[in-house]
A and B are shown apart, each in its own frame.
Chain A
């Protein structure tokens, strides 16, 4: 209670909030209520409290982002339970597969990647410029998302069996300045990018929208991406060599490790049926 006036002391927001919540002793509450009834300033303050509660109650009821659903489901599955995604029917079971770790995986991915770009990408501004790369003479536009540290256009077919192995290798390539054990630094090859993924390859915003669906937040830069394919006969519907983007994200796995999503071309607009797999980096 502050600022005595001829009409009695005005009430501050704390006092009014306490009064509204029934936290004020009865005698004081009666005095304050009498003041409120006759004080325009204090009623204005109370109106701000009312507006605040209305704004809180009116926050939109947004569902858990599809990428977070996939991640949480995978974590529960890894703990021994199973999750049956609502959109995929009862027969679909998410599981993790053992992954080979470390350098062996890095070496393996080195053998299969078609091309890797490490560090700053220097695109030509042509249609083949990877998403996020400079399109204005070597200076990144501040409004555009930053490009992933590593862009791979392997064209490799990921599967539930090899995904852990390959994702570990991709992550290793991203964390090694030279591109990982034996991984060459070179420009990614637009020709190796499946047509359905081309928009994400050339348009930073398209890739950013996909990543935003996975993370639930705008502006996250992937550690690495691989424009590839995916096969999973157990998936409903079964997937056979479909275009797939592998997105490695920093620190989203258990104990702050990196993890990857394997997603379809429409992950930004239809994430429920375009997130094929979540795979934690184990190395």
Chain B
């Protein structure tokens, strides 16, 4: 199914839901829940909070569907609602992760033994140390691969703000995760590619 067809189907499902089709919203949830879950989990860093935020967001979407104006893709709209639920929940909690991360103390031999799972665990722990607004931007752009313009729509902020949050977030993460970089593996000097010339993810 092409992205355009999927987007049309999403709109159709939402319209059917608003018209009273009891199955339509559930189908919409089934289509998008895994991505929404990943965004919430990685933004909040806690499965219990992520479950709360996804549930709260989807219930908000269920009730607010009649107000969907159609000026964004349904998936963008759903992400916006769930991410807002994440941000609200994080602000209510008012506490982000405090556990220490092993900042650059791993020996070279240890680094060599770091498996994919350990790396993922460290990355998720580092994400929890970012301000939640930065974490959301980094997760949407760098983890989920959404174009910056779409993330700006999801977060309802200017494109420049998304870039700035990503930049600050990446710098902080690189500081926290510096030991993940294999030694002696420096990339060659290369010209900076402006964002506008980058290929967008499929």
Bound-state CA distance A52–B41 (Å) is 19
Q: Which residues of B contact A220 (CB under 8 A)?
A: 48
Interface residues of B (CB under 8 A from A): 17, 22-27, 29-30, 33-34, 36-38, 41-42, 46-48, 50-52, 54-55, 58-59, 62-63, 116, 119-120, 123-124, 138, 142-143, 145, 160, 163-164, 166-168, 170-175, 177-178, 180-182, 185-187, 189, 191-192, 194-196
Contact assessment for A56 and B143 in the assembled complex, using a CB-CB cutoff below 8 Å: yes
Q: Which residues of A contact B189 (CB under 8 A)?
A: 36-38, 43
Q: Which of B168, B192, B194 has the most chain A CB atoms inside 10 A of its CB?
A: B192
Contact assessment for A252 and B62 in the assembled complex, using a CB-CB cutoff below 8 Å: no
A-B contact count (CB 8 A): 172
Tell whether A21 pairs with B167 under 8 Å between CB atoms, given A72-B33, A83-B29, A215-B48: yes
Tell whether A217 pairs with B48 under 8 Å between CB atoms, given A48-B178, A75-B55, A83-B30: yes
Contact assessment for B180 and A52 in the assembled complex, using a CB-CB cutoff below 8 Å: yes
Query: What residue in chain B is nearest A50 (Cβ atoms)?
Result: B187
Q: Which residues of B contact A44 (CB under 8 A)?
A: 181, 186
Q: Which residues of A contact B29 (CB under 8 A)?
A: 72-73, 76, 83
Q: Which residues of A contact B38 (CB under 8 A)?
A: 61-62
Contact assessment for A47 and B123 in the assembled complex, using a CB-CB cutoff below 8 Å: no
Query: What residue in chain A is nearest B195 (Cβ atoms)?
Result: A22
Contact assessment for B167 and A47 in the assembled complex, using a CB-CB cutoff below 8 Å: no
Interface size bracket, A side = 35 or more
Query: What residue in chain B is nearest A65 (Cβ atoms)?
Result: B47
Bound-state CA distance A238–B187 (Å) is 59
Bound-state CA distance A43–B183 (Å) is 12
Q: Which residues of A contact B63 (CB under 8 A)?
A: 79
Contact assessment for B166 and A21 in the assembled complex, using a CB-CB cutoff below 8 Å: yes
Contact with B171, one of A49, A59, A84 (Cβ below 8 angstroms): A49
Q: Which residues of B contact A80 (CB under 8 A)?
A: 22, 62
User: Taking the nearest CB of chain B, how far is it from the CB of A196, in angstroms?
Assistant: 27
Q: Which residues of B contact A55 (CB under 8 A)?
A: 119-120, 123, 177, 180
Main secondary structure of the interface of B (DSSP, over half): helix
Bound-state CA distance A29–B38 (Å) is 35
User: Taking the nearest CB of chain A, how far is it from the CB of B93, in angstroms?
Assistant: 13
- Assuming A55-B120, A59-B123, what are 11 further A-B pairs, CB within 8 angstroms? A13-B175, A17-B174, A48-B175, A51-B174, A51-B181, A53-B170, A55-B123, A56-B138, A59-B124, A60-B120, A252-B52
Contact assessment for A81 and B62 in the assembled complex, using a CB-CB cutoff below 8 Å: yes
Chain A to chain B contacts (Cβ below 8 Å), 21 pairs: A13-B171, A13-B175, A14-B167, A17-B167, A22-B163, A23-B163, A29-B192, A43-B189, A44-B181, A58-B116, A60-B120, A72-B33, A72-B54, A76-B29, A81-B23, A81-B25, A83-B29, A84-B26, A215-B48, A251-B48, A252-B51
Q: Is A237 an interface residue (CB 8 A)?
A: no
Contact with B181, one of A36, A48, A56, A76 (Cβ below 8 angstroms): A48
Q: Is A31 an interface residue (CB 8 A)?
A: no
Q: Which of A56, A62, A71, A79 has the most chain B CB atoms inside 10 A of its CB?
A: A56
Interface residues of A in 5-52 (CB under 8 A from B): 12-14, 16-23, 29, 33, 36-38, 40, 43-52
Contact with A57, one of B62, B143, B182 (Cβ below 8 angstroms): B143
User: Taking the nearest CB of chain B, how far is it from the CB of A279, in angstroms?
Assistant: 15
